[in-house]
Amino acid sequence: MKRFLLCTDLDRTLIPNGPNPQWPSAKALFRKLAAREEICLAYVTGRHRALIEDAIAEFDLPCPDFAIADVGASIYQIRAEEWLPWSTWERHIAPDWGGMHSEGLASLLRGFPELHMQEREKQASFKLSYYVHLDVDSGALTARMRERLQREGIRANLIWSIDELAHIGLLDVLPQSAGKLHAIRFMMERQHFSLHDTLFAGDSGNDLDVLLSDIPAVLVANADPEIKSRVAATGREALYIATGEYLSMNGNYSAGILEGVAHFWPEAAAWLQESES
């Protein structure tokens, strides 16, 4: 049996918690797809484990097989609703921070007044998260931070994104070898999925590393317009931007994910047509 790895961001990608309307039947159709034994479902999100579980309960989402949490700083395998951390992943990324965890790294960055620490529950062992006002030059800020960390022998991945609803910048500091892209590649290697069998769905800035990679990806129709323009300019063949023309749905949220699935995986497109007939 051929298996497919379907990776999707949660907020404003699978979860319809943005200003755009969701398509009424898309959620049920996504659940049918996720229930197939050929599909390995992975949630790839900035949320930590408890917030992922909250989202599953609140929005009646399918329980995934894997969760890449904390913007790619944590990986869990879920079996019979038991969450099993991948300790091999933590051992893989830990050397980048030279034995430090997020608390120690925060002390190195106290001299940056632009940084405002996010809530305690949004921090993780290998994820340090800040709020940044949108009038701050994010490029100059991250360059200065990177220089400070490099002087201390810290190899870091700085990920900038914007919470459109809250009108605030989000800056995550991870080990250099962590992040959504690296975590997906790690899972592909360990679970033996090829590029042709893998698909990622996203909508925002912290999805860019995957959207601009060689991993097949779909950008849902409700995605940030600036992100749409940026990825469209690359002309990358393995990237699909949902238009809302598939099965008469609008391409937002789960409808956009399904549109991408049908575009890249003919076998899955046939399953979806069967479900709709």
Please, which residues have CB within 8 angstroms of residue 52's CB and are 6 or more apart in sequence? 10, 43, 45, 67, 69
pLDDT recorded at residue 168: 96
Cα(157)–Cα(174) distance, rounded to whole angstroms? 5
Instruction: Tell me the three state secondary structure of residue 239.
Output: strand
pLDDT recorded at residue 244: 95
pLDDT recorded at residue 57: 97
Low-confidence ranges of the chain (pLDDT < 50): none
Cα(22)–Cα(152) distance, rounded to whole angstroms? 47
Tokens of 145: 């931070």
Chain segment 19-43, per-residue pLDDT in tens: 999 999 999 999 999 999 999 999 9
Q: What is the DSSP string of 119-184?
A: PGGG-BTTBEEEEE-TTS-HHHHHHHHHHHHHHTT--EEEEEEEETTTTEEEEEEEETT-SHHHHH
User: What is the chain's mean pLDDT, rounded?
Assistant: 95
Cα(170)–Cα(59) distance, rounded to whole angstroms? 24
pLDDT recorded at residue 1: 86
pLDDT recorded at residue 277: 57
Q: What is the DSSP string of 30-63?
A: HHHHHHSTTEEEEEE-SS-HHHHHHHHHHTTPPP
